[in-house]
Structure 1
């Protein structure tokens, strides 16, 4: 974790210290911002790409657990894999606003050997979980302090294959401070309207800069931090860190009708290779180390900060392969 933080800090300092150049993108609107840059900015914090399908697997790892205030013996996850499918599309598109929708599904399969706390011995666990979500998204392009600003709002619902569970809201504002062929700089605010969230308000910061040697610093905080390089003819190699989230609902775990949610945030650090297939399809492969500060089970009506069961996994190796469709191409905005 310390190494990841030091690396992130070095990348941020090097990006911030690089000299700026005057804006020079043609085809701008009245606020002086390219239409493609506006799309890029609106997509930076989007829930998903137009279509994304991926498979993820984590190698076996040990974890410690705590139920309420009781420390439990170390156990082991022998298998953890996921299939993720998501789609994000526009329903209505106008000059200054768009209305879209998001659909998503995540399948999680976990196998574990749970160490019994009192009598000892191993209790095997094999579970499959289905998490489904959808949202309606509204994006509005405006100006604030004479700077192009993109506002987004979303109303989302989620649940499982058994029940509908939550309604959530999301509001973001992103101001484009700089946009030219080498540098893009944006700041904003992220408001999560969700009683289960520990951090309902977060500042956001996006910075991309292309150096003369072909390296690209790409920061979308607090989401990801990458150092990128185009390789081969249609490929891009990236080194960095991104945050991922696993969430699903649990039923009948204590013999009552009480519903629970399991949630964990993962810090995935390593290499990512993307390859453009045709014009709009991108094959992606990722590998590296996954660090999970904690995984928590909490009552549906409570928050992530009030768990009834908490796990602390060891770092584990992961790999991920997927294919996505994106008409704006994640390998670079078309000129």
Structure 2
């Protein structure tokens, strides 16, 4: 049951990232919150979750995996190479006192090489495939009040696919209430509605909590996406974080086994580890991530089905990962004189 729940949540993580830039209470509509200016610092702006342009390269060490096709258990095989390139761009192109209109585009390329053990065969099959996943979205966020609390309402239309075809149109609606915001603590709760025919869990609660301790440590919790304990270092030019975040790999497949059937692959990754971010110049940020990648399962399913109806699934062993990225933010407060 735990694995099924985590797998269902994986469908939402990309969506959560898309509207994160609109619901960040430390940067959106600051004056309307009636908070002291020092609550919203240039440091928070430099290390924003959603940056206008972000490029990341991910590498996972070789690992073994078990697989199932229907009710049949297949021999253990091995992934020799698993690498990804992630590119995303975010921009809020219309800002008003009570609403924001923004857009996101992104690309994720996956290159995998696997040595597959075939039942009854004396030689293993060596597979090398490259997959391309693209998405774009338009988000509208409205600021209001609910129960005398500041509230944020967001709606997103997301389109995804591959280099060959547009595949899905999805809708995401969120409602978030700001429960607390002062110099040390920020806290929100909300609900997310995911309109996606392949989703098993259309409604999910969300929760965000940030607390600054007197010793300089910062607790940063954004459920269901991540939990981190952070510390600014090197005169606030760097930030070191320890914790866990969730990520997913998604792509579409065509012409498997000589058919015209379209398939989708989704894989949830639980990534405990360390992150180091360092500001370079006025507008650039270098990010390094490393730790263990834990994958409950990955599933192939027909496009018209859901993640809960796989035709083939794999269960990888834990493996080491290392990511390196660079982001560019021309709107950073840090870059202004």
| SS of 1:172 mapped into structure 2 | strand
CA distance in 1, matches of 2:201, 2:41: 27
CA distance in 1, matches of 2:34, 2:330: 23
CA distance in 1, matches of 2:206, 2:116: 39
Distance 1:299 1:37, change over 3 A: farther
CA-to-aligned-CA distance 1:208-253 (integer Å, 9 cap, x gap): 0011111110000100000011111210100000000100000011
CA contact (8 A) 2:246 2:268 kept: yes
Distance 1:74 1:37, change over 3 A: farther
CA contact (8 A) 1:31 1:143 kept: no
1:241 matched to which residue of 2? Answer: 244
- Aligned equivalent of 1:144, options 143, 146, 157: 146
CA displacement at 1:29 relative to structure 2 = 4.0
CA distance in 2, matches of 1:99, 1:328: 16
CA-to-aligned-CA distance 1:62-106 (integer Å, 9 cap, x gap): 000001111100000000000000011112111110111110011
1:272 aligns with 2:281: no
CA-to-aligned-CA distance 1:159-218 (integer Å, 9 cap, x gap): 001111000011111111111111111111111111111221111110000111111100
1:305 matched to which residue of 2? Answer: 308
Matches within 5 A, 1:1-335: 29=31, 32-33=34-35, 48-233=50-235, 234-326=237-329
CA distance in 2, matches of 1:224, 1:244: 9
CA contact (8 A) 1:47 1:102 kept: no
CA displacement at 1:36 relative to structure 2 = 9.7
Further displaced range: 302-311 or 198-207: 198-207
RMSD: 2.5
CA distance in 2, matches of 1:298, 1:34: 51
1:15 matched to which residue of 2? Answer: none
CA distance in 2, matches of 1:242, 1:284: 15
More helix by share: 2
- Alignment TM-score, normalising by the size of structure 2: 0.85
CA distance in 1, matches of 2:160, 2:275: 29
CA-to-aligned-CA distance 1:254-295 (integer Å, 9 cap, x gap): 211100001001001100000012233211000000000000
CA distance in 2, matches of 1:153, 1:54: 27
Query: What are structure 2's unaligned runs of at least 5 residues?
Result: 4-28
Q: In the comparison of the two structures, how many residue pairs are matched?
A: 303
| SS of 2:183 mapped into structure 1 | coil
CA distance in 1, matches of 2:41, 2:206: 17
2:21 matched to which residue of 1? Answer: none
| SS of 2:133 mapped into structure 1 | strand
Query: What are structure 1's unaligned runs of at least 5 residues?
Result: 2-26
| SS of 2:163 mapped into structure 1 | coil
CA displacement at 1:51 relative to structure 2 = 1.1
CA displacement at 1:60 relative to structure 2 = 0.1
CA distance in 2, matches of 1:210, 1:328: 25
Further displaced range: 82-91 or 275-284: 275-284
Further displaced range: 65-74 or 278-287: 278-287
